[in-house]
Structure 1
Amino acid sequence: MLVPPLFEEMNRMRKMMVDVMRSLHTLGISSFLPDLPGTNESLVALQRVTLSGWQMAVMACAQQHQISHIASFRGGVLAIARMHVADHWMLSPVKGATILRTMMRTKVAADREAGLSTGIAELTARAGAGPLELAGNIIGSELFAQLNDAEIPEMENQRIVRLESDNKPGDVQIHGSALWLRAEPDDDAEMSFAIAQDIDGWIGQ
């Protein structure tokens, strides 16, 4: 099971993740990519979603399909924090506060271009009082608070994969592009195949 990144990073990396799944198929590995509640085809409104709700949904999905190996991308690692019995492959895991800061900086920059003056502290205060729109996402107060406190989970059986340009601690580095930083959705066929190969080797260990 693949767990996608969160918010805009999910949109920017979805093509890459589909390419990873296709490459896994050629390697003889079946995979699926569920939509988190409040995203894509989900009928749940995002502003009603919580991080704990995402964690419960991912856990229920894995149990239903008897999944023992989970590959999580970026902020998707925050949704697997309760699944200590599974084996976890993680690409460039990130804290919830980092995701929120990036989105708030984008909001501040957009407001500045529109002649408005806002700041991180003001947006954080507004998020505590009610839903807050960031990068087109209506984020409820509870989701904001839970994400702000969410650290990268440390699992018993995990493999952290990072790009060669990333100096943070990890188990392996691969060549590729930080697609989550692109202004528009993009892909990197070489990186997608490298990810699939690493997942294949990890499962076969």
Structure 2
Amino acid sequence: MAPKSSHRVLLIPPLFDEMNRMRKMLIDVMRALASVEIASFLPDLPGANESLVAPNDATLVSWQKALESCAQQHEISHIASFRGGVLAVAGMQSTHHWIFTPVKGATLLRTMMRTKVAAEREAGSNTSLADLTTQAETGSLELAGNIIGSKLFAEMNGAAIPEFQNQRIVRLETDNKPSDAQIPGSALWLRAEPDDDLAMSSAIAQDIAEWMIQ
């Protein structure tokens, strides 16, 4: 969007099921950025959507390499990451980073695993978190509709939130964790179904625009 703009930002989506819940919100952010002549790019990660990479072959390292190449190709100096998406740009220290409610890889896995355990217990199975972890150590694991290979599981389990030389962390007003700014809105990643929040999308786009042009 806004392809002729000299201001370009790479949007890194949330990971796994959170990406599906927040995709509409991200598109709204892109439209709002285009209205103030900021070009934005929303890439698909290897193994997701129409990617030629098989889902169980995806790794965190492959995501990081792909996004580094994408940033270089489009001459990107600013990146806006959402939730776990920041883990996929952890090595890009020379870039300016805008980060929305960052989360550790282990937290994402644990949330999906707990959901799977609860669902299987309702179906009469006694699967535990330990059982799922053991399964992930030797083969692929299906969590929230995502096929996660053993290497990706191990990488995510050890992935901490990166710190960058130039970063701006943004959270919701209801989040009391340290941040550089807070915006009104709702935790769409916790919704049962994909949803949007136009006021939040507008606030996010405005904050990104001011951060880029300052």
Task: Give the shorter-chain TM-score range.
Answer: over 0.9
Aligned residue pair count: 205
Q: How far is 1:43 from its partner?
A: 1.6
- Residue of 75, 79, 94 corresponding to 2:84: 75
Residue 197 in 1 paired to residue 210 in 2? Answer: no
Q: How far is 1:40 from its partner?
A: 1.3
SS where residue 138 of structure 1 aligns? strand
Q: Which residue of 1 aligns with 2:52?
A: 43
SS where residue 2 of structure 1 aligns? strand
SS where residue 50 of structure 2 aligns? coil
Divergent runs of 4+, >6 A: none
Give 1:23's aligned amino acid.
A
- Cα distance in structure 1, aligned partners of 2:203 and 2:36: 12
Residue 155 in 1 paired to residue 131 in 2? Answer: no
Q: How far is 1:46 from its partner?
A: 1.1
- Cα distance in structure 2, aligned partners of 1:121 and 1:171: 37
- Cα distance in structure 1, aligned partners of 2:145 and 2:199: 30
Give 2:54's aligned amino acid.
A
Q: How far is 1:119 from its partner?
A: 1.0
SS where residue 117 of structure 1 aligns? coil
Give 1:190's aligned amino acid.
A
Q: How far is 1:28 from its partner?
A: 1.2
Q: Which residue of 2 aligns with 1:57?
A: 66
Give 1:25's aligned amino acid.
A
- Residue of 28, 35, 40 corresponding to 1:31: 40
Give 1:159's aligned amino acid.
R
Residue 125 in 1 paired to residue 125 in 2? Answer: no
Q: Which runs of 5+ in 2 are unaligned?
A: 1-9
- Cα distance in structure 1, aligned partners of 2:69 and 2:51: 16
Q: Which residue of 2 aligns with 1:135?
A: 144
Residue 94 in 1 paired to residue 103 in 2? Answer: yes
Q: How far is 1:133 from its partner?
A: 0.8
Instruction: Compute the TM-score of the two structures, normalised by the length of structure 2.
Output: 0.95
- Cα distance in structure 2, aligned partners of 1:52 and 1:43: 17
Q: How far is 1:121 from its partner?
A: 1.2
- Residue of 8, 18, 24 corresponding to 2:17: 8
- Cα distance in structure 1, aligned partners of 2:93 and 2:73: 16
Question: Root-mean-square deviation (CA), in Å?
Answer: 0.6
Q: How does 1:17-28 map to 2 (within 5 A)?
A: 17-28=26-37
Give 1:68's aligned amino acid.
S
Q: How far is 1:41 from its partner?
A: 1.6
Give 1:129's aligned amino acid.
T
- Cα distance in structure 2, aligned partners of 1:41 and 1:20: 22
Deviation per CA, 1:24-80, whole angstroms, max 9, x where unpaired?
011111111010011112121110011011001100100111100000000100000
Deviation per CA, 1:137-168, whole angstroms, max 9, x where unpaired?
11000000000000001000000000011111
Deviation per CA, 1:75-110, whole angstroms, max 9, x where unpaired?
100000010010000000000000000000010011
SS where residue 85 of structure 2 aligns? helix
- Cα distance in structure 1, aligned partners of 2:44 and 2:11: 10
